[in-house]
Structures are given as C-alpha cells and as structure tokens.
Amino acid sequence: MSGESVLERLQKQFGDAITGANLDAIDPWIEVASTAIEEVCRYLKADNELQLDYLNCITGVDYFHSDPKKLQKMGEEPHTLLVYHLSSTAKKHTLVLKVRLPRWKDDREGDLPELPSVTSIWRTADWHEREVYDLSGVWFVGHPDLRRILCPEDWVGYPLRRDYEMPLEYHGIRGR
C-alpha cells in the first residue's frame, strides 16, 4: 500500500487529527495530533489492509538548545517529537507516525507533556513508553505502570532532553 493511499484513508477517517505528512522523505511519515494517537493506532492495527500489528519502536526526539543563539539557528520551534515505527508481519510493510508535543505541558517547566498511551494496542509499547518517559520525559496517560526503566528510580531529570544537566552527585558518586 503506497504512502499516499494510507494518508488518504487516514485523513478520511480522522480528518483534522492528521496534522501533516512528508511522503518524499527517505522514510515517509505521517504526523498525528497527540490527542488522536490512540484511535489512529487502533485503526491502523485493526484495519484489514494495513494490519500494522507490530510496533517496532517509540522514540522521543527533543528539539531544543539551551544556548539561545543556537536555538535560533536550529530553525525549529522547541518541541518534543515522538516517532512511532510500525510494521506489519502479515503484509510486510511499514509506517512511521510522528506526534508533535510541547516540551513542557502548558509551557510550565517541569510539567511533562502528556500523550495517550498505546499499551492497550501493542503490549510492547509498555516498556517502550517507559523508556521514553525515563529518558525523554513524556507522560503517557493510561499507561499501567509508568516508572523509570533504565535509570534508577530516584534519578532526577530526563537525560535525552537537550537541556539536561548531569547531576553533580548521585548517592555520593561524583557525576561531573
């Protein structure tokens, strides 16, 4: 199934929730509004022609620079981008979904951006979302057990955010 037809179908089904797409990129992607991600994923998995039953990966990408000059040079609004790589074991095709999130919820620093969890669709999302929460700081609403997974439970900060600073000390161990 070509990228265009997938996009068409999704737009027909979800309308405004599909906020953008780039079908000419090396890996063509479709951008989905953060509130609609769960329904879109459920549709993608259930749809007979798409059958995207396999969630490969969820990645959180942080677009930010603590240096204002570089931030300007970056050419992007500061935001957090979630990338869902999906594929189908039956139809052998793949799809990339992107979700654009603010870096902080309501721009209040320290409040994690929120997003519906897709654990009810793919069980594998459980750990992937925990990892994204742990490293990129995104709060998945509806996740059954959102804890840190790679960092210790009492770790402070989200290491893959661009403004992250390594703590000076962790339980008596020098950090920097």
Partner 1 sequence: MATNLEDPRIIEFDVRTDEMLVNMGPQHPSTHGVLRLVLRTDGEVISEVTPHLGYLHRCAEKIGENLTPRQWIPYTDRMDYLAAMNMNLGWSLVVEKLLDHELSDKAKHLRVIISELGRIASHLVGMGAYGLDLGTFSPFLYAFRERERILDLFEEVCGARLTYSYLTPGGATADLPTGWVDKVEAFLRQLEPIISDYHELLTTNAIFIKRTAGIGIMSAEMAIDYGCSGPVLRGSGVDYDLRRDGEERYTEMYDGYAYEVVVEKDGHYPQDRNYPKVPREAVLGDCWHRFYVRMLEVMQAMDLVEQGIEKYKSASGDWGVPIKLTQRLPKGDVYLETEAPRGQMGFYLVSDGSAIPWRVRARSSCFCNLSVTSELCPGCLIADVPAIVGSLDIVMGEIDR
Kindly list the residues in this chain that would bind partner 1 in the complex (CB under 8 A): 25-27, 53-57, 59, 61-62, 74, 83, 85, 89, 92, 94, 96, 122-124, 126-128, 131, 135, 148-152, 159-160
Report, in Å, the least distance between residue 77 CB and partner 1.
14
d(C-alpha 174, C-alpha 62), whole Å: 26
Q: 14 or 65: whose CB is closer to partner 1?
A: 65
Report, in Å, the least distance between residue 19 CB and partner 1.
17
Phi, psi of 5, rounded to the nearest 5 degrees: -65, -35
d(C-alpha 119, C-alpha 155), whole Å: 24
Q: 58 or 115: whose CB is closer to partner 1?
A: 58
Q: 8 or 70: whose CB is closer to partner 1?
A: 70
For residue 79, count other CB atoms closer than 10 A to its CB. 14
For residue 53, count other CB atoms closer than 10 A to its CB. 16
Q: 14 or 85: whose CB is closer to partner 1?
A: 85
Cβ 88 vs Cβ 48: under 8 Å? no
Report, in Å, the least distance between residue 101 CB and partner 1.
15
